[in-house]
Chain A
Amino acid sequence: MTYPTSRAKTWWLLQALSGLALVLLLGVHFVAQHYVAQGGLRTYAQVVAYVRHPAVAALEAAFLVVVAVHAALGLRAVALDFGLPAARQRGLNAALAVGVVLVVGYGLWLLAQVRGGAG
């Protein structure tokens, strides 16, 4: 019999790992915007051209997913810090999951719109 991995631990590790991933993604994001996209992204055309690059789109999408998850876990941590009772944890988890899905869905839709937009 193995020791069951506690949810609490999983959440904390996920929070830490998503955080580390964000630090890396953000670093790449900055470098990409400042060195790869010469002069920064200013005009609409520049932005559209930029996100049309498949690697960039993938990066932005990953960024979005990780940010949403990290934010949700952070909000969850704050709620627990304020003594959210065990009985309400499920409800909170569900609400946050819905939030993550909405944010990610909306963001991906936007990305698709912009990529398909006039260039």
Chain B
Amino acid sequence: MSSDNRPSADGTDTQSTQEARLGEGVDSRFNSTLREAFGSTPFILTKFDKFMNWVRGSSMFMLQFGIACCSIEMMHTYAVKHDLDRFGAGVPRASPRQADVIIVPGTICTVSGGPFQEGYNVVKGAEEVIPCDIHVPGCPPRPEALIYGVAKLQERIANGESAPVTVKPYELEQFGDLERDELVEKLADRIDEDDLVMRYNWAESP
């Protein structure tokens, strides 16, 4: 991939092709250490897909999505000291349209229901609703843990892996098709027979 580019053995400096092409007095902006390591006429041979995966993993836009306590630590991860931007993942975007990654920081409480597992109103894990790639445990996870999670995600992306879809199939049914239990009877005068409805069973979620 690279040819050797060293001063000749007798000590007289030879001009590298690279220097020759850049010419005299040009600033060394383009001469990064990385470029130097690749030698005088660097080129990379790789599969296009692999390259694209690497690119995608190295420039992830996060959705600015602060929903509960975990998001306070998430903000700290973005900000000074932990500075997630160093890992190519620190720019929060305000709209999902511009974002590649959603971190779900809480209140679904996110991995399993967390401390609110027994609550009447808390969905027990984001995976009930959307497919997830990485779970970062903790209540809340420390910034270091979140960074680790992001790094793991980058690894997965670089390897071209994506989330297995394990979402619970909440199928919409017509109201008329539901089993006529007490609840359905009660709602009968408010919902039409052919309205599509979703039935969330708290008892069956993990």
Question: A and B from one assembly?
Answer: no
The interface of chain B, by Cβ under 8 A from chain A, is none
The interface of chain A, by Cβ under 8 A from chain B, is none
